[in-house]
Amino acid sequence: MKQLKLERRGAVALVRFDNPPHGYMDNDTLADLEALTPELDADAAVRAVVYTGAADGVFIRHFDTDVLAGMSRSLREKGLGFSAERRLPPRNIDRVFDAIAASPKPHIAAINGTCMGGGLELALACDMRFAAEGDYRMGQIEIALGILPGAGGVVRTARMIGAAKAMELCLLGEAFGPAQALGLGLLNGVVKGDVVAHAVGVAERIAAHPPLAVGHIKRIARAANEPGDADALGLERTLFLDLLVRDEALNNLEAYNAGKLALKDRGD
């Protein structure tokens, strides 16, 4: 694996994201996760999975905007357009996050620092989220770049805290700290001290229970929380690309990558 560090702690698999120097998520991160998730599902010795960042103060900063700008240019060169009337099939990022959500084993995010954009979307795909106490930022700030949280960020946030609050967060595009995230209902807890040790401890307690019961409870709870449009995620990823290929998004991404566009919480 290029960007993941795997550590076994008894029945718990601890996965650390390691992509220096910035701690971005990119295509290598997704390829590693796409290979690892079914491997952990198939390993009977693994009863729970915990994710955290390898660098101090960074969970996943956000998805690499250089990659997004390159994707925008490539799609534009091909003359591709996107419409809500023609929903896209899942991409690799969707397959990865959906596999985490659908896994019969609990997946827990131990957020040890900055967690924006795609990093927060990954955390939202997990079953529980614990964040370290501290002065760092979380949020979905994609709208400032002319795009939207296109890998489950809008849909999963709405399912978790309601449509009105999700619209407020995603439309304003303002980042927030862990205490506010807890108040919003995006976190299970804010941890004073070692958030990884706390998350692993929770995972170990769950792992002590019969795995079939754990898997069934997870499946039922998720099904109860996903009413309405079964293809809402398909609509989100389609309209994400519809925005990505437009002039404003590409111009904003290139300006941001060149350091000429300052967001409210760049995280650098």
- Does the pTM exceed 0.75? yes
pLDDT tens digits for 53-94? Answer: 999 999 999 999 999 999 999 999 999 999 988 888 999 999
Asked if pLDDT for residue 97 goes beyond 60, the answer is: yes
Confidence check: pLDDT of 232 > 90? no
Residue closest to 120 by CA, chosen among 25, 36, 202, 250 = 25
- pLDDT value at 132 more than 90: yes
Tell me: pLDDT of 268 over 70: no
Q: Which residue has the higher pLDDT, 267 or 220?
A: 220
Class of domain 4-257: alpha beta
What pLDDT score was predicted for residue 228?
A: 57
CA dist., res. 181 & res. 175, Å (int): 10
Query: What is the arithmetic mean of pLDDT over 228-253?
Result: 83
φ, ψ (nearest 5 deg) of residue 54: -80, -30
Please tell me the predicted confidence (pLDDT) of residue 130: 98
- Both tokens of residue 11? 């029945």
**pLDDT score recorded for residue 265:** 54
Judged against a pLDDT cut of 80, whether residue 144 lies above it is answered with yes
Determine how β-strand 12-17 pairs with β-strand 4-9. antiparallel
pLDDT score recorded for residue 267: 44
Record the tokens describing residue 30, joined without a space. 């997704």
Decide which of 244 and 203 is more confident: 203
Instruction: Tell me what the pLDDT averaged over the chain comes to.
Output: 92
Average pLDDT over residues 178-193: 97
pLDDT on residue 221: 86
Tell me the DSSP string of 9-60.
ETTEEEEEE--TTTT-B-HHHHHHHHHHHHHHHH-TT--EEEEEESSTEEEE
pLDDT tens-digit profile of 189-222? 999 999 999 999 999 999 999 899 899 889 888 8
**Residue type for position 66:** D
Q: Has residue 266 got a pLDDT over 50?
A: no
Q: What is the pLDDT of residue 234?
A: 81
